[in-house]
Copies of this chain bind each other. A is one copy, B any other.
Amino acid sequence: MVLINGKSEQYLNITDRGLQYGDGLFETVHVNQGQPVFLHEHLHRLKQGCERLLIPCPALDVLSKEAIQLASPSTQAVLKIIVTRGSGGRGYRQPDCIMPTRILSLHPYPDYPAHFKQLGVVARFCQTRLGLNPSLAGIKHLNRLEQVLARAEWQDAGIQEGLMLDALDRVIEGTMSNLFYIKNQTLITAPLTFSGVAGIMRAQILRLATLHDLPVKQVYFSQEALLAADELFLTNSIIGIWPVKQLEQQVFPVGEATQKMMASLEQST
């Protein structure tokens, strides 16, 4: 089920700059009992991303209406919202009159085993690095070759996520998730000033941590620091929280702080 600019379509003009240059953004929204979860937050981030990329954002009430229309028949699903700069001539220069394209599509909810949440997942480090670019950092834009190449590094179905370092060897996030660790009762995650995606679930975790008086630090850290963590978990809008039970050869408990965050997130949604 796909809506392109409000119409039920499956095909897009190849002149669209989303295809030509990855010139756009997207949101991946969890649909639960017919409701797009954190829809307001997703649309707000989309709007902010559009502002940074100088794309006129489609009206949020229109996007919201279309999102709810697509989501409502589904018990569990994934709703993807793409906004591109629309069609334009050849060349990087933006068209004088930008008519953005909005594409909403519904996808099956991935059938992750329940033990991923209960017992944790296995992660690895990727070789592919995240480039440093303040003008794109934080935005969930359509330039995703780094993640595609990182995800192509492993085939082992026993490994659920790959962690990515930036060009300065700082650990930033997973290919499809944000990364948190706990050390000495402090919750730590990387800043997203030069690379990475400012996840909706990441923001929720930061909010909940503050609510529960768990000290938070947004600082850069090394692979070694991460491997010495007390607890470790991944977040995104679809998985919520996944504890990491193993990273490379190092094993981790599903600790108290992680469980507390999971329970708190469960209550808040």
Listed in ascending order, the chain A residues whose CB lies under 8 Å from chain B are: 2, 4, 10-14, 16-23, 26, 28, 53-54, 78, 80, 82, 84-85, 89-94, 103, 105, 107, 110, 128-136, 141-152, 167, 175-176, 194-195
A151 with B94: in contact, given A12-B11, A16-B19, A131-B136 (CB under 8 Å)? yes
Q: Which residues of B contact A136 (CB under 8 A)?
A: 131, 145-146, 149
16 contacts between A and B (CB under 8 A): A11-B13, A14-B82, A14-B103, A19-B84, A20-B26, A20-B142, A20-B144, A21-B145, A91-B151, A92-B147, A93-B152, A94-B151, A129-B135, A131-B195, A136-B146, A167-B194
Residue of B nearest to A166 (CB): B132
Q: Contacts A14-B11, A22-B21, A136-B131; is A145 near B149 (CB within 8 Å)?
A: no
- How far, in Å, is A71 (CB) from chain B's closest CB? 15
Determine whether the beta carbon of A151 is less than 8 Å from that of B92.
yes
A132 and B135 form a contact (CB under 8 A): no
Shortest Cβ distance from residue A126 to the other chain B in the assembled complex, whole angstroms = 10
Q: Which residues of B contact A107 (CB under 8 A)?
A: 89-90
| Cross-chain contact A132 with B167 (CB below 8 angstroms) | yes
- Docked complex Cα distance between A14 and B144 (Å): 16
Taking the nearest CB of chain B, how far is it from the CB of A74, in angstroms? Answer: 14
A21 to B21, CA, bound (A): 10
Q: Considering the chains assembled together, what is the distance between the CA atoms of A228 and B22 in angstroms?
A: 36
Our pick among B12, B135, B146, B148 for the contact of A19 (Cβ within 8 Å) is: B12
Q: Which residues of B are found within 8 Å of A103, using beta-carbon distances?
A: 14
Contacts of A145 in B (CB 8 A): 21-23, 53, 136, 141-143
Q: Which residues of B contact A147 (CB under 8 A)?
A: 21, 92
Nearest residue (CB) in B for A84 is: B19
Cα-based distance from A126 to B224 in the complex (angstroms): 37
Q: How far is the CB of A225 from chain B (nearest CB, A)?
A: 23
Choose from B11, B14, B131 the contact partner of A131 (Cβ within 8 Å).
B131
A80 cross-chain contacts in B, Cβ below 8 A? 90
Nearest opposing residue in chain B for A21, CB measure: B144
Q: Which residues of B contact A167 (CB under 8 A)?
A: 131-133, 167, 194
Contact A21 B129 (CB under 8 A): no
